[in-house]
Structure 1
Amino acid sequence: MGCNCSSDYSDSDWIENLDEICEHCNCPIPPQSCNPYTDQLIPYHSQHSPPTSPLPDKLVVAIYSYEPNHDGDLGFEKGEKLKIINKDDPEWYLAESLTTGQQGYIPHNFVGMTRVETEPWFIKNISRNEAMRLLLAPGNTQGSYLIRESETTPGSYSLSIRDLDHNTGEGVKHYRIRNMDNGGFYITTRISFNSLKELIQHHSRDADGLCTKLVKPCQSRAPQKPWWQDEWEIPRESLKLEQKLGAGQFGEVWMGVYNNDRRVAIKNLKIGTMSVEAFLAEANMMKNLQHPRLVRLFAVVTQEPIYIVTEYMENGAKFPIKWTAPEAINYGTFSIKSDVWSFGILLTEIVTYGRIPYPGMSNPEVIQNLERGYRMPKPENCPEGLYQVMGMCWKENQDDRPTFEYLRGLLEDFFTATERQYQE
């Protein structure tokens, strides 16, 4: 008789503690449900959101308590139920408290839209690395855990657990939670659960194949509330500079606090760096650039010295310093001409077969040397003409750098001449 296993699994699938394998095809045997009256369940790969038991239409539950900071805010306590009236602003919902009957604006990331989002062990919109950082932070111990949405398998969840290995020390283990076609879940193929809560309850009593049993949900602080949309031009007195993070040609960058309750990054520009009119035109454009992967511009102080208030990245930056133009490093001004600078860096990578730019220098050393006018020397075996092109891309004044159209024509002529030399 042939094999009746599902063929949905591939070699790339990862199942921790896979202990029942079909002898015919090495596929996992579907688990038995906890419910003896339920037929055997076949696992599937959902391409949609996981079954999350949405709350009744327009109702949300507070995941964190919120103290109002502005006129029009609605304060609420953790666990309080609210009715959404309007969601025109994606970050601030107009809502009514079912407890007090009051109406006002609430931060979207302080409430849960589904039942699973209201659970203390669920953390939304975090990566695997962020989960590790949270679980290894003070306040969490062996057995601390969280459930998050899977990064690699849309529509699935992952369980992350803090564990203690006597050989390697403290670390975090990750388990993929698979979906069943009836909305159930399983980790090991021996047993499935009707809900994530049942899964948590079971593994809180017994590790049952996991690295350790689940002890307590991961401690995590409330997220920063969204920036209040009307706070665009703010008074200088509302900002407190606390720690200098860096300095450059165009000014300094500080870690600071806004209104004594929100940590921000503050860039103060040297007087005369640019006109207020030009700055505001640029800032208004940047204000509309909203994306989870972009550092967000919050507000400005328009009287000189100009302040730019942005999102503070507490874990540092993943900024490609060695590829970035000085005005973009120091001021955050990205343009087609800063791309020309980066193109010049790319040329060095091509000539050196992928060598990292500024070999032997750290990022701070690169910044300091650029401010002194340093430029990378001509790479070995680089034609003089091509190095001159690099130098044009690295002009201090961005207006002196060539256009990409000019570079294209120049390089076409350069390679035509080079080919002619080889033919001769």
Structure 2
Amino acid sequence: MAPTNTKSLFVICVHAFNLFVFLHTHTHTHTHTHTHTHTHTHTFSAPPPPGPESIAIALYDYEGINDGDLGFKKGDKLKILQESGEWWRAQSISTGQEGFIPSNYVAIDSLETEEWFFKGVSRKDAERQLLASGNKMGSFMIRDSETTKGSYSLSVRDSDSQSGDTVKHYKIRTLDNGGFYISPRITFTTLQELVSHYKTTYNKHTKVAVKTMKPGTMSVEAFLDEANLMKALQHDKLVRLNAVVTKEEPIYIITEYMEKGSLLDFLKSDEGNRVQLPKLIDFSAQIAEGMAYIEQRNYIHRDLRAANILVSKALVCKIADFGLARIIEDNEYTAREGAKFPIKWTAPEAINYGSFTIKSDVWSFGILLTEIISYGRTPYPGMTNPEVIRSLERGYRMQRTDSCPQELYDVMLECWKNKPEDRPTFEYLQSVLEDFYTATESQYQQQP
């Protein structure tokens, strides 16, 4: 995938072609058997050697008229050896044969027409552009090499556990015959072929997660409803649906693979326990961003908790498990009698009346914040579900822990307002959490 926000205007090279064939200079001697004797003359200056991008694409079929001509078929790729006037000397990429071709039968295959080619971009600028927001892992560009004139470099956005998002650079080497390669084990006649190969290889090695329906746990219809909902909701902070396999039971939902597993398990792990407060706040902001999208699409999740957030290798949080999610038509959804919900994460109006809105998801988000700041501690520690229900009726709210900044606890209390309409929107929560350190910088400087 080429960078999404780094080349808003492509430079397209437009070639004007005459709609007639340039003719050789011929002398004809006719006999009754229509035998032709041809002599033709080509006059060429000696142009500078063509660069590695002087590849032409045949627009039409051409059958050579004279011995020195090079025939070709529409779509063939030809390396231009000399350019002079109407006739160019060229070499067929596929056969290696050389000869003269009519220049109006071909178009120069300029790299600048490719969306992934960025002429004149430095290594540093490539890193800056690829790491910009909106570009995902696998975004790439091919650019001119800074160290080797006439060569190219491939820059790809990647990630690793040590440095997070990063950009890796690969030298594209050229062959004597004009081909290209990164690894000498496989070579390509054009950069386009090189790009096509490595994009395909990346897709063939993409890990996926497979969710299957266990017999008796839910209906086929409900399972497919979840898949359809995932298909309808497409956002960078929601787990992506790749495919649904329904040919025969069991039915499978295939989603993107999130290497670190659930946020709950990650927070409890040794690696998760080493995550510092700024990253915990970032986790919270990412989840709020995903929920703001769900809010904007008029859906509710109904099961928002750390166990249903997945974490990628690059520590990106994505909302998952849409089994209880619903679209809301009148700003409210009433659950059927006997439906089961995670009590400690569920808003009082949803517990008591089965009334779910996006504001009940906001309540759950406040509980999720306590899981994040405590590295996966179960909410309301030491309390049973009935005790939680009775305590909430009396106005009880979880207390702030020592590890929780007062400013974050204030956000939690906003989420736990008794009246749903008094709770903030996810759009607001996203903005507060994304700007958390900007808004509270003076307070943090005073802390030991």
Between Structure 1 and Structure 2, which shows a larger proportion of helix residues?
A: 2
TM (normalized to structure 2)?
0.26
Mark the structure with the bigger radius of gyration: 2
TM (normalized to structure 1)?
0.27
